[in-house]
Amino acid sequence: MSGLAPGELVKSRGGRFASALGIDLAAPDAGVRFKWFLAAVLYGTRISESLAIRTWREFAARDVLTPDRIVATGWDGLVAILDAGGYVRYDYKTATKLLDVCAALVRDYGGSLDALHDAAADPRDLENRIKALGKGIGDTTAGIFLRELRGIWAKAEPPLSTLAISGATALGYLRPGPLDPDRALARLWRLWAADGQPVTGFADFESALVREGLLLRRQHTHAS
First to last CA, the chain: 28
CATH number of the domain that residue 59 is part of: 1.10.340.30
Q: What is the pLDDT of residue 178?
A: 81
Task: List Cβ neighbours of 3 (8 Å cut-off, separation of 6 or more).
Answer: 172
Q: Are residues 206 and 97 in the same domain?
A: no
Report the distance separating Cα 97 and Cα 157, nearest Å: 24
Phi/psi of residue 153, nearest 5 degrees: -90, 130
Q: Are residues 107 and 90 in the same domain?
A: yes
Q: Are residues 98 and 204 in the same domain?
A: no
Q: Are residues 40 and 139 in the same domain?
A: yes
Which of residues 147, 172, 204 is at a domain's end?
147
Q: What is the pLDDT of residue 112?
A: 97
Which of residues 121, 147, 173 is at a domain's end?
147
Q: Are residues 164 and 143 in the same domain?
A: no
| Regions of the chain short of the pLDDT cut 50 | none
pTM of the model: 0.94
Q: What is the pLDDT of residue 3?
A: 76
The domain of 170 spans 6-14+160-223
Q: Are residues 103 and 176 in the same domain?
A: no
Q: What is the pLDDT of residue 85?
A: 96
In this structure, which amino acid lies at residue 50? S
Which of residues 125, 147, 169 is at a domain's end?
147
Q: Are residues 133 and 45 in the same domain?
A: yes
Q: What is the pLDDT of residue 14?
A: 94
Domain membership flag for residue 110? yes
Q: What is the pLDDT of residue 222?
A: 63
**Short-list 147, 185, 186, CA closest to 40:** 147
Q: Are residues 97 and 195 in the same domain?
A: no
